[in-house]
Each structure stands twice: as C-alpha cells, then as structure tokens.
Amino acid sequence: MERIYLDHAATTPLDKEILDKMLPYLTDCYGNADSPHAFGRKAMGGVDSARDKIADLLNAKPNEVYFTSGGTESDNWAIIGGAYAAKERGRDHIILSAIEHHAALAAAEKLQKEGFSVDYLPVDRTGRISADSLRARMTERTGLVAVMAVNNETGALQPIKELANIAHEAGAVFFTDAVQAAPHMALDVKALGVDMLAISAHKFYGPKGCGVLYIKSGVKVKPLVVGGEQERGLRGGTTNVAAVVGMAAALEKNVRTMSANNEKIATLRQVFLEGISGVDGLRVYGGAGDVSAVLSLRFLGVSGVDLVYNLDLAGVSVSAGAACASASVKPSHVMMAMGLTEKEARECIRVSFGKDNTEEEVREAAALLKEIVEKLRKS
Ligand SMILES: *Cc1c(COP(=O)(O)O)cnc(C)c1O
C-alpha cells in the first residue's frame, strides 16, 4: 500500500536536490565554521553564502539573519528575548494573538510567571485578527506584539503590515511567526514592516532542526542561547553548517517554484473538497483569501482522533489539530478561539497538502475519509 501523506503543515519531506547540496557539508567539509584554519574557512564559506542567499530572499541584510534550531527556538527567542529587552525600556506588557503556535504561547506563559502582563488578541469565526482589537489593547507599557502571518491549522492569513504599523505607532516591537507563510508566499521583511520574523526549514522541504530569526538592525533582543560568539554574539552554539546550507537552497527553490506549487495545491484542495462534499454535517475552516495548503474540517458528531486513527489504518496521514496537540489529544486552542466549543474542537482534523501530492492521492484520501465517517457514524 502506498501511503498518502497529507500532513505538510507538521513537516515536509526533505527534497532530494536539497539533500545533495547538504551532503558535502556532512562528510568532507566537516570543519567548525568558527575555526580560523582551512577546514573552518571552507565551512564558513557555506554558512556565509547561505546567509547572503536567505537575506536576499527575505529582502534583509545578511547581518539581520540569525540561524537557530528551528521555528520553536525562533519563536521563543523573539518573544522572550524581545520582552526582556523591552523591559529595560520600562515596557513589561506584551500582546499575542490567541491562535499563535504553542512555541509562542508557552514563551508568553513563562514571561507572565516572571511578572510580565500578557494580553491575547481574539479572532473572528474565520480566524482573523482585527486591527481594532490590537489598537484597543496597546498601552504605553506595551513592548512587544506577536502575530503569526499564517495559521498552521486553518491557513488564515493575518494583516501583518497593518498590525505592525499599529505596534510601531505605540513604540512597540513587532514579531511575526512566518513559519507557515514561508512555504506559500514570498516574504519581504521591509514590505511587511516587521522587526522580527521566524521561518523553519523543514516546513519548505528543507532539513529539520534549522530555522532563522530575522532581527532588524537596531532592534534590541536579549540572547536566549548563551555560550559562544556565534551569530554576532547573540546565539551561541557550533553552526549546523549542512542544515543552514540546505535551508538556503530549500528557500531559494521554494521561492522559485512557489507559484506553480500554489496553483497545483489549490487544485488538490478543490479535488479533495469535491470528494467529501456529499457528506452530511461537514464544516470547513479556512478558505477564501487564505493559504490553500492547510485546512481544518469537522464532521458533526465524529471524533477527530477516531478519524485520524482510522485514516492512518487506511493509509492516509492527517492530523487532529496541530501535530503537537494531537499527541496530548487536547482540543485545538485555535478552533476554540474561533468560537468552537471544546466538544466541537475535538471533532476537528487538519489536512495539509504538499507540492508532491497528486490529484489521484487526494481523490482516494477523500473517498476513504467519506467511507470512514459513514462507518463511524453507524457504529
Ligand atoms: C512548525 C511550526 C513551528 C515550530 O517550528 P519547528 O521548526 O518545528 O520548531 C512554529 N510555528 C508554526 C506556525 C509552525 O507551523
């Protein structure tokens, strides 16, 4: 049985072309990029050109690109490091959207325990944040605002530029988690007007354990990982050279192939939704104007975990909410923020398409899902 993978928001497979570009840095070119000798210089050459390439793709300067271990570290660093720096300016209030990734929410919870005050922006039924709700919460003590660019459960796109402007007018720093945006849209930090932005390589066919935090020059952020002079003294640790090289190559390829991929994915989504369209009590979350690769859906009265389990047995991999939420089987905070009750949120599953899925695969997955829903409703 060929398994069907429809969980690209959790992770994507490493592109073989990208692996080939990484391999020399995992074998012959093993120097520590910070060593001043020939081995080190060769490794640093790879790191430098990766940094240049990523800066170029994000419309940033190379010295504004900081390599991290992925989206979680970038989110943690931006929020905790940004809040600590803001506190030194007398600002101890931060604002996050209620639908941030757990990596951001947990960072805010930690800050709250340390005495920061934290406010959460609500979303409407379609998962969107309004400019007015941010405006209403800004105070002269607000030091940091964090709103993700694209949600990882619904694909909902947020008005980042507008929100960043509001934060800036009140003297706060603006951070966006663009981990789910990077696979599907070109990112320009200047056009977005953000001070910090996070991406993660494994969400766009690059290696796991590697990400970027963009920090605009002049923006103050305290380091989180200390112990070395790497990343201009702000993020210690021997550079993961092969991963950084792979991330740059993956981002470049992703940008180059993005419009064709997006077009294909939009068709896959349509085929999938047509395949399940006859089923009673179907609700789809995420839609017009959002990223089409990610959607959450729900069949009234059917448990999401049961659906995921039965689909897996049938060879189709999807997720119940976000990947991290499904292990603990907690109802999704995103769906609850959109107004669903806990029981309704437990009925949700997330389906996320990728560039290598085929129409045949999604048609089959939809047919299997339809069958399983009917079977579960009878039992
Ligand atoms: C996957 C994801 C993260 C975490 O990134 P990792 O590299 O897996 O740590 C953060 N934010 C969003 C929106 C994500 O989808």
Divide the 379 residues of the chain into consecutive groups of 10 and give the mean pLDDT of each group: 93 98 97 97 98 98 98 98 98 98 98 98 95 98 98 96 98 98 97 98 98 98 94 96 98 98 97 95 87 95 95 96 60 95 95 98 98 94
Q: In terms of C-beta density within 10 A (0-12 exposed, 13-18 middle, 19 or more buried), how is residue 2 classed?
A: exposed
Cα distances (angstroms) measured from residue 28 to each of 15, 23, 34, 134: 21, 9, 17, 51
> Counting atoms of ligand 1 from 1, which one is nearest the CA of 322?
15
Nearest CA to ligand 1 atom 10: 71
Find out whether the beta carbon of 177 lies less than 6 Å from any atom of ligand 1.
Answer: yes
Residue keyed to tokens 């309004």: 130
Ligand 1 centroid from CA 7, angstroms: 13
Nearest CA to ligand 1 atom 3: 71
Cα distances (angstroms) measured from residue 67 to each of 74, 148, 222: 9, 19, 15
Residue keyed to tokens 């949700």: 348
Buried-state track 107-139, b at ≥16 Cβ within 10 A, e below 16: bbeebeeeebebbbbebeeebbbbeebbeebbe
Q: What domains appear along the chain, each with residue ranges and CATH number?
A: 4-12+258-378 (3.90.1150.10), 16-253 (3.40.640.10)
What pTM did the predictor assign?
A: 0.97
Phi and psi at 306, nearest 5°, equal -60, -40
Residue-level pLDDT at 245: 98
Find out whether the beta carbon of 103 lies less than 6 Å from any atom of ligand 1.
Answer: yes
Angle between helices 359-378 and 241-276 (to 10 degrees): 60
Q: Which of 69, 102, 152 to mutate to test the pocket of ligand 1 (most atoms within 8 A of CB)?
A: 152
Nearest CA to ligand 1 atom 4: 71
Find out whether the beta carbon of 72 lies less than 6 Å from any atom of ligand 1.
Answer: yes
Separation CA 118–CA 173 (nearest Å): 15
Nearest CA to ligand 1 atom 12: 179
Active site residue 324: yes
Find out whether the beta carbon of 71 lies less than 6 Å from any atom of ligand 1.
Answer: yes
Residue-level pLDDT at 257: 98
Residue-level pLDDT at 31: 97
Separation CA 92–CA 153 (nearest Å): 30
Q: How far is CA 256 from the centre of its chain?
A: 20
CB 291 within 8 A of CB 185: yes
- Token couple for 318: 């999807």
